[in-house]
Structure 1
């Protein structure tokens, strides 16, 4: 459900979004803390000092989707479109995401050793304009982040650390591309070009690229997917014999390769947090670490192993705390004989237990409609039902946006019906602190429903606000029920278009910092919706 906040784009979309029956939000753009120059600031102490904050319950969920830009999978639809058309398409995706109840987007900003922003290290991506190095005429990443935050969606900047190009013709790279200027860093393997992870200068470049974005843009997280050493092709070994001879240091080649990847992951985690402590680092690896037949700590599966085949020791990253969240790609159905979804969900839940690493699950919306279990509309919904019995699992991320938002196979409609009827706040991340509450909540009937407004929190930590609604006249000061969450917003008001004429409602508002730590509620406001709407 869209929430009217004065944004024209949201207003145009409201009719379509209301039809979904969802309780999510679409907000007007605001500053980092959701402040407006003309917005009043709350005065004094909390209005309900004896009422506790809601806490991080099981109703907290991260709900995200990957927006893939390589080959224009999700954006842009056509490189020949104008900048304004491309912007409109992105805004539409975000509005649809909010209508579905999403609260995060994972957007690919370095798909092939290139950039969706003006980088001092790498050329503009060919996937924006069709030509690598061509300036698209606007700061794409700045636009991406601001539009996501305007809708109170977390923005996870998604980087591919080692992939250089699809295709092996190096002459097609821009002359200023580091991969072309430093050909000794690059290996042709399979149908693509790859940086060699064993070369220290390659790790240094990846680190510089990531930290440049962390420094210049207001992102919420740095995100890697499952591409480290490339997946095996035709039984051929990755051609890094010379690099191993120079840097192997007496390790076996497999252990040396894992050490190379471990080094990048560990150092990036440290440097990201040194630069901006609130920015998280997460990875969505291949869903199987090792099979139990290879390692007693592995899963009861019979599949490719990230540890052995792409040299990604994903379990170690969790146990060592080198990632803030892990999102294994569990793209198999329940009952798959080689890699059963239920088996893997339980295995990953066991791995994060006691570590402080947040576990979310990568879901295969792209598989909807395939033969077998995916043919009907229920498979993804069944996955979330499995997750509900595993408290360590804190949400889901869907690959990819076009299939999720396009309701491929009817699976999104089923998710909406079974699991996403109400909005959700992401789990609280470590290191934050609840801001001071908002104040002076007011509610009044309008032609579009009920307008709810409040004074912004006086705390600089406040980034967004959660609005809760109960039917009837509620107590002025009362705990809020997470199941009654309507929406979150970066601003000081919403219009609730879902009210029923003549029905009385009470609204409560809490304040959130950017790591989703929540204040107690302000004094509630009671209103009766207008008749004859």
Structure 2
């Protein structure tokens, strides 16, 4: 799709939503209800921020990077998984030749330096050759793991527009309260959706940043300019995130209608002590109140195609019990047509310092057994690729043995191919 056409539908999406009044949630319709795929989703997150999973370190050649990437895809096939969520925009830079943002620093060690190949193109092609779905995972507002725009690549948009940014907690973020920021980050993400036949667009839990004790996220000027009509700044912030969700959904429909749009939030919307509609938890973070993300509303209003809450706690963990949160999310999704997948903390299995339940190879398998009693649950996604390859105590092997058959169905119902890429 040409840039002029992309700009046209981005402009159209903004115009369609421009009539939403201050103090109201955006009223445009959500996704058109793409039918839920018949096969259970078996997913794996492949994180690229700070070399979390890939590439394993700075300085690898393009050939070695490519080999590592394909190795992760082969691991997914070996474990009878069918979907990979590939982080392609971790810090407002790109794993494809973007006209909006510089090449990712994780590839060469220097932000903006051409790595000599196109990782997203390779990931999509090689995943599809193996029968895997490839969902492009974006972080909309996180700019850098430091607070200084001058350390960014010279042509970085956040460096050219420092007024778009807010330093907070030792990091740098785009300001979600600025309409021009929302339009820009949507265009930057949409470029990848237009260029590559991705199967989905995926966000995790980063909207407004997690609270940092003793610090305020300084968006006072934006609130003064754009917050008229809202009862307080919290309501205005939630409205800003709502608009990003709705506007992005419209963009995806216009660009690649077959792609699914989903979010993987922190696993607690609100505690029931805060809101009777909340879960029977005592979590220290609530997405509605602390990240200004009304994830339950996005499901109930069908603004997204799937929700994948990060239920990263063991069964019986008192502040946030997996066995309590799972039915809460099943109830939230029931009757909406929005698919429910469950984010699983594979990274905790066998990790030093984790509680006793996470030293038991059967803990994750018990999660899937509980989920089997809830027909709303359409699959599970494991964090993350490094732990899937290592499988320290055999927890994922136990899941595969107990719950996954000899061939992984694609979410669309076709079995995963073992054929190599041509």
Q: 1:414 to 1:180 in 2, by over 3 A?
A: same
Cα deviation for residue 410 of structure 1 reads 2.0
**Which residue is equivalent to 2:398?**
414
Cα deviation for residue 56 of structure 1 reads 8.4
One of 324, 339, 344 as aligned partner of 1:343: 324
One of 59, 68, 78 as aligned partner of 1:99: 78
Q: 1:382 to 1:99 in 2, by over 3 A?
A: same
- The alignment's TM-score, normalised by the length of structure 2, stands at 0.87
**Structure with more strand by fraction:** 1
| 1:305 is the counterpart of 2:286 | yes
Residues 382-531 of structure 1: matches in 2 within 5 Å? 382-428=366-412, 466=414, 487-489=415-417
CA distance in 2, matches of 1:362, 1:212: 27
CA distance in 1, matches of 2:47, 2:256: 25
Cα deviation for residue 489 of structure 1 reads 3.0
**CA deviation digits over 1:212-240, x for unaligned, max 9?**
11111110001000000000001422111
Q: 1:413 to 1:152 in 2, by over 3 A?
A: same
| 1:167 is the counterpart of 2:95 | no
Cα deviation for residue 338 of structure 1 reads 0.6
Residues 39-438 of structure 1: matches in 2 within 5 Å? 60-251=39-230, 252-303=232-283, 304-369=285-350, 370-428=354-412
Cα deviation for residue 294 of structure 1 reads 1.2
Q: 1:191 to 1:250 in 2, by over 3 A?
A: same
Cα deviation for residue 146 of structure 1 reads 0.6
CA distance in 2, matches of 1:235, 1:416: 44
Q: What secondary structure sits across from 2:251 in the alignment?
A: helix
Matched residue count: 381
CA distance in 2, matches of 1:313, 1:426: 30
CA distance in 2, matches of 1:321, 1:397: 21
Q: 1:491 to 1:400 in 2, by over 3 A?
A: closer
Cα deviation for residue 490 of structure 1 reads 8.9
Q: What secondary structure sits across from 1:145 in the alignment?
A: helix
| Structure 1: unaligned runs, 5 residues or longer | 1-54, 429-464, 467-486, 493-533
**CA deviation digits over 1:419-473, x for unaligned, max 9?**
1242232445xxxxxxxxxxxxxxxxxxxxxxxxxxxxxxxxxxxx94xxxxxxx
RMSD of aligned Cα (Å) = 1.7
**Which residue is equivalent to 1:518?**
none
Q: What secondary structure sits across from 1:244 in the alignment?
A: helix
Q: Is the 8 A contact 1:291 1:300 kept in 2?
A: yes
Cα deviation for residue 138 of structure 1 reads 0.9
Higher mean C-alpha displacement, 154-163 vs 208-217:
208-217
Larger radius of gyration: 1
| Structure 2: unaligned runs, 5 residues or longer | 1-34
Higher mean C-alpha displacement, 409-418 vs 205-214:
409-418
- The alignment's TM-score, normalised by the length of structure 1, stands at 0.70
Q: What secondary structure sits across from 1:66 in the alignment?
A: strand
Q: Is the 8 A contact 1:366 1:408 kept in 2?
A: no
**Which residue is equivalent to 1:530?**
none
Cα deviation for residue 295 of structure 1 reads 1.2
CA distance in 2, matches of 1:264, 1:69: 23
